[in-house]
A and B are shown apart, each in its own frame.
Chain A
Amino acid sequence: MMTLQQDICNDTRKKTPLEGYNFAYLDESTKRMIRRGLLKAVAVPGYQVPFAGREMPMPCGWGTGGIQVTASVIGEEDVLKVIDQGSDDTTNAVSIRRFFAGTTGVETTTHTAEATIIQTRHRIPEHPLNENQILVYQVPLPEPLRWLEPSEKETRTLHALEEYGLMNVKIYEDIMRHGAIAMSFDYPVRVNGRYIMSPSPIPRFDNPKMHQCPALQLFGAGREKRLYAIPPYTDVKSLDFEDYPFEVQRWEEPCALCGARHTYLDEVVLDDTGRRMFVCSDSDACAENRARQGMTEVSHE
């Protein structure tokens, strides 16, 4: 254990840009505790590791799990990107990016390819990730079986026994009732052939990007105090049946701004007569597409 004296005199504390706080806000022993949890999570892909989540200066449910994970793995050389709903410019993404800029002084970016750590809520970037990147997910409810079984004691037992009949029945009932699997986001996956895992509330469009992803994927649920992980190049299969295979969302039309046909689109209401348009949810990918086509950047500013 690091003693208090070492913790206070730690070099990082002297270097921190925010006076009175350690580098990346958390003290070093907390970071070490979280990193130990992450190591266990990587060793047992998809297994939810309990950890002593800290109170962060942002509300629970607003990304404190992801923030604690990022704070534990970030170093001075890292380049950080933060997205929410696929965009770098949504208010909570701005707030989290500022928090890390203020407490670590690391370089931040909006470009997926330049980032070494990408913290995300609800999306996986469209740009493929590489081995030098870590994708950190903010997770509100880590337990994929929670809606089927409210008790944590029970769900942990079900995972331990690999007893996933409940989930199969749910999917079967969906097909019976609707003719399709009626889960549009937070679509459960099976990791490395063992644990059923919540991918966090990403649209199911993004699920295939998790499979054999070269980047390390870390998940933090602050309020529920759970960590889990998908190591690089791990099998991640979205749950389905042979005769009702998993499918992703599709749109009839391309992105109205960049013309992309194979990205996740947000629907934007244009006026009160109900006219609407579809645009890329990943604002960085959309801007890159437009730049490639020589279109000018548009903004409110």
Chain B
Amino acid sequence: MYVAVKGGEKAIDAAHAQLRRERRGPLDVPELSLAQISFQLKLAVDRVMAEASLYCPPLAALAVKQACGDLQEAVFLLRAYRTTLPRFGSSQPVDTSSMRVSRRISATWKDLPGGQILGPTFDYTHRLLDRSLSRTEGAPDTSAPLTEEKLNVKNLPRAMSALNAEGLLEPAADTSSCREVADLTRRPLELPADGPEDRPVRLQTLARADEGFLLGMAYSTQRGFGAVHPFTGELRRGFVELVITPEELDFPIVAGELEMTECDTVSRYTGSAMPPCLTRGYGLVFGNNERKAISMSIVDRALRAKELKEPVTGPAQNPEFVLLHGDNVDASGFVQHIKLPHYVDFQAELSLIRSLREAGKKAADASPSRGERS
């Protein structure tokens, strides 16, 4: 016998208690500390900070722990916290030219002022499982300790400035034509967002977009859905100072340092609106995330199709497509909302299908010669 379902509250409580137990796992395994997550799973923490648009390694580490390592869930946790924070001012634009660089490469020049600095990278590692890492206790630490000097190259000249001088590279965007940089989290995105003056809000959207989504979009342009043929003009990673001028003081102060990854790509302009030249794409992301910075710069370039009068042939060139579908908090929530009960709609569909079939059957019975049942 069916009875009206009650007990939702109890079920939720029980489910959450189970989740807490599952998060902790077997009690004979030591519990993860936030410091371990911050330092040993740093790239996970960086990704969460970037997509949550909140630079705070301890809170991002907490989110990673609370989300059992589900990084999109961690992004969501941190975003939901970020949205409650008061805005007490805007920083000055970060000056990436004076970045304290830990890695800087250019794929367009063999050597360049300041040199190539390979730095810590997975590039050129052989992806062979390192069994020595499976031993955690008593293993001697063979790596050299991190020294500050090694990470202290500052004020490197920009790789692209050589092209600038010759006039082969389109000039950096004239920021005076751009709208005041809108805060996407405080003002809704206005479409079509396809003009040069919309580039700041596009870049802001890309900076917090899902890494996987951007990667796929960038990849699609390279395979032919939208023509971008990028070169990595410069990729740099390191620490920049965050400078603010508080309302009550009339001079700027340094609030702290952020780690950021910046990517400048150049690609040959194949359209007809400008003389042959190189065009720019730009990527800038919190933390260490080269995959995303590069993807972002390619997608940024692809989204300038209208401005540069290029034919729009791929989804990555369509601002509405890219900007509205790259946010993983939005996407993950909406895709998974089909887990919620839909009895009412489903019932409505059932009764519609039944009535349509019934009507179709009656019509067919009435005129059997027609035989049209579809």
Chain A contact residues, CB within 8 Å of chain B: 4, 7-8, 21-22, 25, 27, 50-57, 59-62, 64, 84-87, 89-95, 98, 121-123, 140, 151-153, 156, 178-180, 182-186, 201-205, 223, 225, 249, 251, 256-257, 264-268, 270, 277, 279, 281, 283, 286-287, 298-301
Q: Is B275 an interface residue (CB 8 A)?
A: no
Given contacts A52-B186, A91-B12, contact A122 B345 (CB under 8 A): yes
30 A-B pairs with CB atoms under 8 Å apart are: A4-B88, A7-B86, A27-B86, A50-B190, A53-B188, A55-B80, A55-B329, A59-B329, A59-B333, A60-B330, A60-B333, A62-B340, A87-B5, A89-B8, A98-B9, A178-B359, A179-B359, A184-B351, A185-B344, A185-B349, A201-B344, A203-B347, A204-B348, A223-B333, A256-B2, A267-B347, A279-B4, A281-B343, A299-B6, A300-B3
Nearest residue in B to A54 (C-beta to C-beta)? B83
CB contacts (< 8 Å) of B345 on chain A: these are 122, 184-186, 201, 203
Nearest residue in B to A204 (C-beta to C-beta)? B348
Q: Is B117 an interface residue (CB 8 A)?
A: no
Shortest distance from the beta carbon of A214 to any chain B beta carbon, whole Å: 23
Shortest distance from the beta carbon of B373 to any chain A beta carbon, whole Å: 12
Q: Is the CB of A92 within 8 A of B340?
A: yes
Once bound together, how far apart are the Cα atoms of A264 and B346, in whole Å? Answer: 12
Q: Is the CB of B336 within 8 A of A61?
A: yes
CB contacts (< 8 Å) of A156 on chain B: these are 191
Q: Is the CB of A55 within 8 A of B2?
A: no
Shortest distance from the beta carbon of A50 to any chain B beta carbon, whole Å: 4
Q: Which residues in chain B, 42-60, are within 8 Å of chain A measured between CB atoms?
A: none
Q: Is B334 an interface residue (CB 8 A)?
A: yes
Given contacts A52-B185, A59-B76, A84-B340, contact A8 B86 (CB under 8 A): yes
Q: Is B84 an interface residue (CB 8 A)?
A: yes
Given contacts A123-B344, A140-B334, A281-B344, contact A51 B83 (CB under 8 A): no
Beyond the given A179-B356, A179-B359, please list 18 additional residue pairs across the A-B interface where CB-CB is below 8 A.
Answer: A50-B188, A52-B186, A64-B333, A84-B341, A85-B343, A90-B341, A93-B8, A140-B337, A152-B320, A184-B349, A201-B344, A202-B344, A205-B348, A249-B351, A266-B343, A300-B3, A300-B5, A301-B6
Other-chain contact of B84, A21, A91, A186, A205 (Cβ < 8 Å): A21
Which one of B191, B329, B340, B356 has the greatest number of beta carbons of chain A within 10 Å?
B340
Once bound together, how far apart are the Cα atoms of A151 and B79, in whole Å? Answer: 27
CB contacts (< 8 Å) of A179 on chain B: these are 356, 359-360, 363
Q: Is the CB of A182 within 8 A of B12?
A: no
Once bound together, how far apart are the Cα atoms of A93 and B12, in whole Å? Answer: 11
Nearest residue in A to B359 (C-beta to C-beta)? A179
Q: Is B355 an interface residue (CB 8 A)?
A: yes
Shortest 5 CB-CB distances between A and B: which pairs?
A59-B333, A61-B337, A60-B333, A61-B334, A184-B348
Q: Is the CB of A277 within 8 A of B2?
A: yes
Main secondary structure of the interface of A (DSSP, over half): loop
Q: Is the CB of B84 within 8 A of A95?
A: no
Nearest residue in A to B189 (C-beta to C-beta)? A225
Q: Is the CB of A203 within 8 A of B83?
A: no
Q: Is B324 an interface residue (CB 8 A)?
A: yes
CB contacts (< 8 Å) of A51 on chain B: these are 188
- What interface size band does chain B fall in? 35 or more
Nearest residue in B to A298 (C-beta to C-beta)? B3
Nearest residue in A to B53 (C-beta to C-beta)? A55
Other-chain contact of A54, B5, B185, B341, B352 (Cβ < 8 Å): B185
Q: Is the CB of A94 within 8 A of B5?
A: no
Which one of A25, A51, A179, A281 has the greatest number of beta carbons of chain B within 10 Å?
A179
Q: Is B332 an interface residue (CB 8 A)?
A: yes
Given contacts A61-B336, A95-B12, contact A55 B349 (CB under 8 A): no
Q: Is the CB of B332 within 8 A of A59?
A: yes
Interface string of B345-374 (1 = CB under 8 A from A): 101111110011001100100000000000
CB contacts (< 8 Å) of B6 on chain A: these are 89, 299-301
Q: Is B139 an interface residue (CB 8 A)?
A: no
Once bound together, how far apart are the Cα atoms of A50 and B191, in whole Å? Answer: 11
Nearest residue in A to B80 (C-beta to C-beta)? A57
Once bound together, how far apart are the Cα atoms of A299 and B352, in whole Å? Answer: 31
Once bound together, how far apart are the Cα atoms of A216 and B221, in whole Å? Answer: 48
Other-chain contact of A27, B84, B187, B350, B355 (Cβ < 8 Å): B84
Q: Is B29 an interface residue (CB 8 A)?
A: no
Once bound together, how far apart are the Cα atoms of A178 and B358, in whole Å? Answer: 11
Nearest residue in B to A121 (C-beta to C-beta)? B340
